[in-house]
Amino acid sequence: MSCETHDSSELAKKKCKPCEGGMSPMSDDEIRKNLKVLNHWSYEDGVVAKTFSFKNYYETTAFVNAVVWMAHREDHHPDISFGYKNCRVAYSTHAIDGISENDFICAAKIDALFA
């Protein structure tokens, strides 16, 4: 599924589309192109991921809760791990065993939360 977006604010305005499989994951070239519009996300071990840093545990957990709320609204859920001052968010689309536009939409929405 190709993602024809030129900046993250444009991508963050989109809504995730239900993905039940039957579609192809993005190619490595498509993933690289889409990573360019995000702020320091990377593609590693089959996921689009980023680690965020905070001043304290309160800020970290507030961010985690905001990500969870957004993920619920988009019905597209990341793997989240966090500690006292950091949080790692990792997206992939399990239904297609790869990366889809939904992963980039949610990553852009998270960047907007963090801004």
How far apart CA 2 and CA 96 sit, in angstroms, is 14
How far is 99 from 28, CA to CA, in rounded Å? 9
Give pLDDT, residue 14: 87
Q: What CATH number has the domain bearing residue 35?
A: 3.30.1360.20
Give mean pLDDT, residues 29-49.
96
**What sign has the CA pseudo-torsion 38, 107, 90, 88?**
positive
- 3 within domain boundaries: no
pLDDT of residue 1: 44
User: Residue 6: what pLDDT?
Assistant: 57
Is 42 within a domain? yes
Higher per-residue pLDDT: 4 or 26: 26
The total domain count for the chain is: 1
Can you give the pLDDT at residue 10? 85
Query: Quick check: 21 pLDDT over 80?
Result: no
Task: Please state the rounded mean pLDDT for residues 15-27.
Answer: 83
Q: What is the CA radius of gyration of the chain?
A: 13
Q: Does 20 reside within a domain?
A: no
Question: Where in the sequence is the domain holding 79, given as residue range(s)?
Answer: 8-14+25-114
Give residue 2's pLDDT band: very low, low, confident or very high (50, 70, 90). Answer: very low
- Given a contact cutoff of 8 angstroms between Cβ atoms, the answer to whether 110 and 17 are in contact is no
Q: Once rounded to an integer, what is the mean pLDDT over residues 49-72?
A: 97
CA distance 32 to 28: 6
Percentage of the chain modeled with pLDDT above 70 = 91
